[in-house]
């Protein structure tokens, strides 16, 4: 595969966390926030789906929020601001907090060529790899530096997860691409 055909990563999901209080009264928030769902027997957090910007918020009693479903890290500031407005309007007592931090970016793409997964697994001596085609149709490659995980499929499609920045995701994809090159594991798509 040549550099001219380098794959493009498309971000699918961004997950961020932040602690905004010592305690959040989830029962009270569920009553005051339209559309909020809190089924404590099934899940210990309040779930709030917001449309503008598109984000799902998981709020937990110890004051921690998880924001997920964002299409790009650039959406985080406006999503967080909107969440704070909703919580304050519902009477939540918020404390000083650090900015939210991205804890996971999920990206996907395609190499444009097929990948001989078994050849790749053997060439890598199964190091940092999980490949059980009877259980899962892709190869799981755990990259140590930069830290991330790639799922690579025989069609050449891939998913990169466990990264915190777009640059990390691109570097994980480049490590995978280099490993496929070194193994001679490209096949026609």
The contacts found for 76-83 with CB under 8 angstroms, 24 or more apart, are: 76/14, 76/16, 76/100, 76/102, 78/53, 79/50, 79/53, 79/55, 80/16, 80/18, 82/50, 82/52, 82/53, 82/55, 83/48, 83/50, 83/55, 83/57
Which pLDDT score, from 0 to 100, does residue 45 have?
Answer: 97
pLDDT above 70 (res 23): yes
pLDDT above 70 (res 3): no
Domain boundaries, the chain: 3-10+104-187, 21-96
The answer to which of 5-14, 114-123, 161-170 has the lowest mean pLDDT is 5-14
pLDDT above 60 (res 117): yes
- CA separation for the pair 165, 87 (Å, rounded): 28
pLDDT digits 0-9 by tens, 38-60: 999 999 999 999 999 999 999 99
User: If you classify domain 21-96 with CATH, what class do you get?
Assistant: alpha beta
Tokens of 117: 């997964």
pLDDT digits 0-9 by tens, 132-182: 999 999 999 999 999 999 999 999 999 999 999 999 999 999 999 999 999
pLDDT digits 0-9 by tens, 98-109: 999 999 999 999
Which pLDDT score, from 0 to 100, does residue 73 have?
Answer: 97
Which pLDDT score, from 0 to 100, does residue 188 have?
Answer: 87
pTM: predicted TM-score of the whole model, two decimal places = 0.92
Mean pLDDT of the chain: 94
- In this chain, the answer to whether the domains covering 3-10+104-187 and 21-96 adopt an identical fold is yes
pLDDT above 50 (res 4): no
Q: Please give the CATH topology (third level) of the domain spanning 3-10+104-187.
A: TATA-Binding Protein (3.30.310)
């Amino acid at each position: 595969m040549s550099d001219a055909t380098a794959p493009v990563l498309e971000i699918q999901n961004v997950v961020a966390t932040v602690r905004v209080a010592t305690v959040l009264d989830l029962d009270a928030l569920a009553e005051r926030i339209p559309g909020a769902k809190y089924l404590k027997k099934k899940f210990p957090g309040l779930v709030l789906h917001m449309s503008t910007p598109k984000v799902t918020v998981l709020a937990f009693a110890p004051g921690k929020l998880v924001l997920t479903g964002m299409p790009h890290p650039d959406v985080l500031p406006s999503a967080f601001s909107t969440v704070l407005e909703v919580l304050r309007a519902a009477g939540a007592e918020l404390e000083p907090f650090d900015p939210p931090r991205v804890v996971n970016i999920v990206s996907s793409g395609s190499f444009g060529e097929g990948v001989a997964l078994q050849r790749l697994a053997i060439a890598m001596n199964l190091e940092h790899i999980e490949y059980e085609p009877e259980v899962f149709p892709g190869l799981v490659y755990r990259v140590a530096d930069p830290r991330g995980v790639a799922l690579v499929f025989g069609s050449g499609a891939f998913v990169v997860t466990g990264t915190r920045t777009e640059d990390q995701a691109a570097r994980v994809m480049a490590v995978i691409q280099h490993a496929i090159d070194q193994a001679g594991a490209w096949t026609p798509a």
